[in-house]
Amino acid sequence: MYIYDMNRIKRLSTELLEKYPDRFTTDFEENKKTVLSLAIIRSKVLRNKMAGFITSKLRREADQEKAEISNQMDEEEREEEREEESQ
């Protein structure tokens, strides 16, 4: 079995994400197929690790966006409550 260092996985995955940002989703199975179609990777382990890294990164970004939106909505609600109290 091959042992791949995380730096290589991160570097290759990040390069693919930068070149083809619209081709990847938060679905691991879909990302495995996409990695296979975009890069010549002979190792199933490496392909899966790259797809997993990409999936995790995109899910993390999606969660951060949701949190930011939620925080903005909470802040707007607080402002509305302050305006109602001051009237």
pLDDT value of position 87:
66
For residue 17, give every residue at least 6 positions away whose Cβ sits within 8 Å of its Cβ, in sequence order, or none: 24, 54, 57
| Residue % of the chain over a pLDDT of 90 | 60
In this structure, is residue 7 part of a structural domain?
Answer: no
Q: pLDDT value at position 1?
A: 42
On whether residue 11 sits in a domain, the answer given is no
Domain count, the chain: 1
Task: Compute the average pLDDT of residues 15-23.
Answer: 96
23's tokens: 């081709």
Model pLDDT, residue 71:
80
- For residue 31, give every residue at least 6 positions away whose Cβ sits within 8 Å of its Cβ, in sequence order, or none: 24, 25, 51, 54, 55
**What is d(CA 30, CA 25) in angstroms, rounded to the nearest whole number?**
7
Query: Regarding predicted confidence, which is higher, 28 or 81?
Result: 28
Per-residue pLDDT, 35? 97
Residue 18 lies in a domain: no
Q: Is the pTM of this model over 0.85?
A: no
- Residue 30 within a domain: yes
